[in-house]
Chains A and B, each alone.
Chain A
Amino acid sequence: MGPEKDCILDIRDLVMRFGGLMALYRPDFVVMRGSITAIIGPNGAGKTTLFNVITGFLIPTEGLVLFNDKPITCLKPHQISRIGISRTFQTVEIFRNMTVLENVMLGFHGRMGSSFTASGLKAPWAVKKENLIKEKAEGILKFIGLSRKSNHAADSLPLGEQKILEVARALACEPALICLDEPAAGLNETESHVLSSLIRAIKEKGITVLLVEHDMKVVMDISDDILVLNHGQKIAQGPPDEIKSHPRVIEAYLGDE
């Protein structure tokens, strides 16, 4: 067992090919339980693709994703969500036809949702669950700092808050691992500062964070471990200080810009 015991996610020999394009090529790495692990890399490096493979939106050409030592590459997105991996999207995907609170309430669907029949008949247990869902969702909004807007239409929020709302919704899945795809994109400096402390608070709750982010200040501030991708391959992995001064990382970033 040894150090293996503390790893929540283990990516092995992963290859993702789109036609002739090699989007991921064996970026082997493990994510430690309870850590904040950042994935960085230039545009098109394969970061979002990696998230899509982990969360079941893409079936990899080759390789394995192990979550708590169990392979999950054969599972559907909703199944992966239910076993404890939730995510946000790079392009904001909030439910625009719902209120802020309803967005978060939906997050509980996988674990606590009622069946059609129970819902239709207003079965006592369904009503009870619904009340519990509402209570928990309000708790999450409080934690995330959006309580005062809970009854606003979700698409009336400014972009920054929409991104926070997506994080809130992902938390409602009660995940063990949360994957955040560029949560700071489009946020101003104060907002990304708030986001940084929010991500730390999520870690404090015992949730492992996997973070794709271009905002280096956020990444360097909060990450325990950083994985650097370029052209689908891992070029470096280590703590922030090491990555900052890593020659290949500097090269990849300078070479790209």
Chain B
Amino acid sequence: MTTPKKSPNSSSKFLLFLGCAIPYRVTSYEISTRKVLAKLGITLIEMTEYNCCGLPIDPVNHEMMVALAARNLCLAEKQGLNIVTLCPGCAGTLRKVNKKLKQNKELRERINGYLKETGLEFKGTIEAKHLLQLLVEDIGLERIKDKVKRPLTNMNVTEHAGCHVSRPADGVDFENPEDPEALKNLIEVTGAKYVDYTDKIACCGAPIAGVNDRIPLQLTREKLVHVKEAGAQALITVCPFCHMMFDTNQPRIERMFNESFKTPVLHYPQLLGLAMDFSPEELDLKGLRVDPTKIVSQIHGAKKGDSKW
């Protein structure tokens, strides 16, 4: 295997790699993604089998991380389809390992030695992508814009894309992590006004929440302060872990620092879905911790306090 089959420039059929965090507690991201992608002409195929991408145990044993990621890639190769993930951690891991295994013969042979016992072999025939990459590369901003039925005009929106969408730049190979554009452009096609804020590309701290209960909350709090100062009415994420920091933990941060943010945090497909005229129920906005009624009312022109959805 020296020249892996090149993946087509764009495709409309992907294997959905769900990872661990989304089925565990961030189903609203999955629900809204499925709705929106179907409308955009993307067919999601379920994986017949999968396991953790490997990232969570990289600090314990790098070799096992590579083996777990490789196993997923092999399973996708058997189904003959490219992978899309909703979690940037999964995407980054699968992309990095895929690249390493394709480039490094010695590593590939060693990992294939382990995989052999499970009847699998890494061949290097597929690609893995994060949802953002699929949206901008395989669908394209123009086609997305065509599906916007209810432009979110007069709404100030900003993003926290999450580090692993583009870092490390060498390995993830997506966009410039110092000046990211994908999510900004995707927010703008909904008709919303994109607002910038201080330290936009800074990390939320989520990965160490299990070993330190203070620093991640301080990092997230500081970002929430900047988002509020910038006048954003909603913060958009594309990562289950970032979402838990900004949405699930927001009331806790408000209590801890005696501050009030009340900033709704939507998964990008929820924002796009609203602009495509899906109902809040269809996008599972109920699954959010911070009440998004205010922005939904603004979009739907409903009366204030009307939260029947």
State whether these chains interact. Answer: no
